[in-house]
């Protein structure tokens, strides 16, 4: 047996490796093969999610964890599709706002452009004696 296989067998994983593998096989296409490293890393990943959720649950001042608290803590994991859709909607809205701002900037440049020559404007005569000099 290779040293790599011996190390992976000695390594203590948080969840039963066979159970993680079984669940992965249940949810993957039947023609997919799962490498051993993927099984190990999935196991670690699931554990890291559990740790993160528990950290959030610990932020509550209560001694009992209830279902509503759990729902709040797992929301990012259970609603990732909705969160991504909302992100896309916001980005599209920001792009539209940016396009509006660009159009307004072009309008300002076009309509309020300072000219190189001074024109006689009776409403904007800022000379001291009013004779334009």
- What is the pTM for the complete model shown? 0.58
Q: CA dist 20 to 7, 44, 51, 105, Å?
A: 19, 10, 17, 56
Residue tagged 């699931």 (tokens)? 46
DSSP letter (8 states) at residue 31: T
Asked if 67 contacts 50 with a C-beta cutoff of 8 angstroms, the reply is: no
pLDDT at residue 36 is higher than 60: yes
- Per-residue confidence (pLDDT) for residue 123, from 0 to 100: 63
- Per-residue confidence (pLDDT) for residue 110, from 0 to 100: 81
Nearest 10 degrees: Cα torsion 92, 98, 99, 105: 170
Least confident of 1-5, 46-50, 118-122: 1-5
Rounded Cα distance, 40 and 42, in Å = 6
Q: pLDDT class for 71, splitting at 50, 70, 90?
A: very high
Q: Which CATH class is domain 7-78?
A: mainly alpha
Asked if 73 contacts 56 with a C-beta cutoff of 8 angstroms, the reply is: yes
Map out the domains of the chain as residue ranges: 7-78, 79-112
- Per-residue confidence (pLDDT) for residue 116, from 0 to 100: 47
């Amino acid at each position: 047996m290779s040293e790599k296989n011996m190390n992976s067998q000695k390594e203590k994983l948080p969840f039963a490796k066979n159970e993680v593998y079984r669940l992965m096989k249940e949810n993957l296409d039947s023609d997919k093969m799962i490498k051993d490293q993927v099984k190990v890393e999935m196991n670690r990943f699931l554990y890291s999610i559990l740790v993160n959720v528990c950290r959030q649950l610990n932020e509550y001042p209560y001694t009992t964890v209830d279902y509503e608290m759990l729902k709040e803590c797992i929301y990012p994991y259970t609603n990732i599709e909705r969160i991504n859709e909302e992100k896309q909607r916001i980005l599209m809205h920001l792009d539209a706002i940016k396009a509006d701002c660009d159009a307004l900037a072009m309008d300002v440049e076009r309509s309020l452009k300072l000219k190189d020559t001074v024109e006689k404007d009776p409403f904007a005569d800022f000379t001291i004696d009013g004779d334009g000099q």
